[in-house]
Structure 1
């Protein structure tokens, strides 16, 4: 048997390829939208991609299952659990096998047994793998998707919070309790291959280790410890982070069917004149991916600063408008990676890239000031200053600047109307990365008297600034 894992650090997402070395058949589990890595592996190892499967209808990234079926004719093994609201709707004219709890399918001589594990979502399934081609009659491991992570379990509140499906948080938590009972009956030696690692919003305390075992999780995972159902549900739903708004879009996209990607080339412009026409279009957003420090020193009015770093994809999903065309200011060598990152969460309306050199050609540039802790201390209590803390709710509750107002970055645009236009706005986050994004967003919305506290709350705390706790 052949095994390989793939990790997208911007989404903290794992996908896997398993192949039977005797027959050359290969399956991809929870494929990302960019199927290139799987195709390259199959070509290198001499395998044929014959199947793909998903543990559930994903909410945090666009699945590559439909692309694999379209491009390579693979058979899709998809969940048939859950009610009519959790059925795939793009299966016509594709080779699809719907599976339920207890079903078994083979990829070459490798066996996959389906285990219905609802809780994160009603249709969630896991796959128990047995390498029969290697002569084993005992299972090797389990692909758990967003059911069991290293150190955590999948959150059941996403459907209610992100997609507005009322009442599903409590019912999902109850289902998760029962699913964990089934999981704990599995052999301790079974390897656990999760769908996400640390950094994913699909849980609240995911570990950074890429795999585990059933026995290790039984001993160390908080959710697998002995507790009654009510206690478990309360603990599971407590302190879950805000789900990104784009999760509702992803759920629909993966249910209805993602658009098939083509090899369309996106133009790359290198003069301000070519960029200028996009700047006046109301249906277009212009994103500047330079570092916040560069953006602060000079940028084109109305552009949003979203540096191409590890946090790019998540915050793109939070703050970019899925209905608008996108123009991205970025270095040419980053363009292909940025395109893949945007497509990974369904932002397919990219119409052009522009060189960072066009910024210097603009007839007039905007700037903003980055301030330090001492500069904030000198003015944070003044009546004409409005301090904006854009961190998440849990961070805010753990401690914040006494005069600050909480407007989490993901909701900042819609809450901007609550901010006073007649006061100086000072934005901060934990370390300065998110506040650079937030400062640019507010400046684009007309807040011109604005500053960014670059060292963030961590700097404030480190230098002894007063702190208020809830």
Structure 2
């Protein structure tokens, strides 16, 4: 008994020591003079940053609308003197060129990008000097893209933070399959995955464990497959918990990284090209969108995006309109279901909502493709039947169930065993696979995507009953 008690006490003490060491190891580095402000765009799960010392400010990976950065700079009495892009982003349009033109800020980017705008090369070993011993140092970290860089923040000779772009996320690393057919440098996914192995092992993981990690994206971004909800971390924490940073061979890493990557939205290559050349000014481009009168007649053959709530859409909508509701992922699904350069009408329930949708379309550079934007409240349009949960519960076998979640979501568990899985991005091309001998019920995970999915199926199968399960799916989980 005494030996057992001694063993338990020793084990407990060991756990306390290990825990203390763990806590000490992952404590983030302290910064004395440099201030880092994180900006978050929920819709695109995008993080951008302002780094400033005294009155000097640099921006990292800014989004399309530059105004939040201008407002912040004014609030801290700082001047934006530089913009650093870690790479040409695929999932949003950056305002770097507009900030350069408006504020005279120098744009820093890797020479490998082949940028079509005025810039200063910022590559491995290059340094930006800031006041009070603060330095911004570039390191080449390809893997998500062949031209990707990370930016280390050094204060008084010590590395305190790193902006990792789309190379290292919290809990994940960037996907390696987006640059096979676009950009100044193109690379196959296997080649980029090998680059990612090198960038993580030979660059980022060699930084001090208390260095703070600031990525360009958070949970929900399609630039990774398992990104954490945390907004920052440390190198030490990521080495402990990030699946992609665990000990494994290069071959094992490549196989793991290539497995189960999400679909690639149609707009991703388009945004890489825009960011390589620089986008037009945000507000001016939005003002160029043609606002039309309420319930304006539409041109036949032009796609219609109806951003209203699903209840309003089902009560009355324009023929063949796709119901992408004005929600957190509107811009992602707009760019996933509508190809770049495709003209479309944009419909909303109010002027305020319409302006919000135009702003969201502009985040991905889709505002020039809007043929016309208008408010719709006509009660004489087409209708869709509403889902009746009681009828469904009484006899689920009487319905054809279409699960429009991604394959990776379905692999984690089916909600209805008899459901046919056709992911939403593939739905328009695969409607012919849907049996039409029963009423069709469409479901996703939360009810947001099913509004779009059910409208796509109903537009294709006009004479058949299509029902949107919507948020009722939550009761089956």
TM range (shorter): 0.7 to 0.9
Q: Note the 1:39-438 alignment, pairs <5 A.
A: 39-81=70-112, 86-88=113-115, 90-91=116-117, 94=118, 96-108=119-131, 110-131=134-155, 136-160=156-180, 168-181=188-201, 182-263=203-284, 264=287, 266=289, 268-272=291-295, 275-276=296-297, 279-282=298-301, 284-330=302-348, 331-348=350-367, 349-357=369-377, 359-360=378-379, 362=380, 364-372=381-389, 374-375=391-392, 378=395, 380=397, 386-400=400-414, 401-419=416-434, 424-438=439-453
Displacement of 1:389: 1.9
Contact 2:96 2:278 in 1 (8 A): no
Distance in structure 2 (CA, Å) of the matches to 1:436 and 1:343: 22
Judging changes above 3 Å, is the alpha-carbon distance between structure 1 residues 100 and 291 closer, same or farther for their aligned structure 2 residues?
same
TM-score of the superposed pair, with normalisation by structure 2 = 0.84
In 2 relative to 1, CA 213–304 (structure 1 residues): closer, same or farther, beyond 3 Å?
same
- Provide runs of 4+ in structure 1 moved above 6 Å: none
Once the 2 structures are TM-superposed, how far is the Cα of residue 126 of structure 1 from its aligned partner?
0.2
Q: Deviations over 1:393-451 (max 9, x none)?
A: 11233344344332211121222344456764332222322111111122233434132
Q: CA RMSD in A?
A: 2.5
Whether the 8 Å contact between 1:51 and 1:107 is mirrored in structure 2 is no
Encode CA deviations 1:49-71: one digit per residue, 9 max, x unaligned: 21101111111111111121122
Which of the pair has more CA radius of gyration? Answer: 2
| CA distance in structure 2 between the partners assigned to 1:160 and 1:461 by the alignment | 40
Partner Cα distance (1:258, 1:376) in 2: 51
Q: Deviations over 1:169-226 (max 9, x none)?
A: 1111111111111211111111111111111111111111111111111111111111
SS in 2 for 1:369: coil
SS at structure 2 position matched to 1:245? coil
8 A Cα contact 2:354 2:374, kept in partner:
no
Q: Which runs of 5+ in 2 are unaligned?
A: 1-33
What SS class does the counterpart of residue 139 from structure 1 fall into?
strand
User: Counterparts of 1:290 and 1:455 in 2: how far apart (Å)?
Assistant: 14
Normalised by the size of structure 1, how large is the TM-score? 0.85
CA change 1:137–1:260 in 2 (3 A) is: same
1:258 shift after superposition: 2.4
- In 2 relative to 1, CA 67–417 (structure 1 residues): closer, same or farther, beyond 3 Å? farther
Q: Equivalents in 2 of 1:445, 1:38: separation in Å?
A: 44
> How far apart are the structure 2 equivalents of 1:268 and 1:149?
39
Instruction: Give, in whole Å, the separation in 2 of the partners of 1:265 and 1:336.
Output: 12
CA distance in 2, matches of 1:209, 1:399: 25
Contact persistence 2:176–2:190 (CA under 8 A):
yes
CA contact (8 A) 2:182 2:273 kept: no
SS in 2 for 1:370: coil
- Cα contact 2:439–2:467 (8 A) shared by 1: no
Give the match for residue 469 of structure 2.
Answer: 454
Task: State the secondary structure of the residue aligned to 1:206.
Answer: coil
3-state SS of paired residue (2:326): coil
Deviation, 1:461, is: 4.5
2:12 maps to 1:12: no
Q: Distance in 2 between matches of 1:161 and 1:395?
A: 27
* Structure 1 unaligned blocks of 5 or more: 463-470
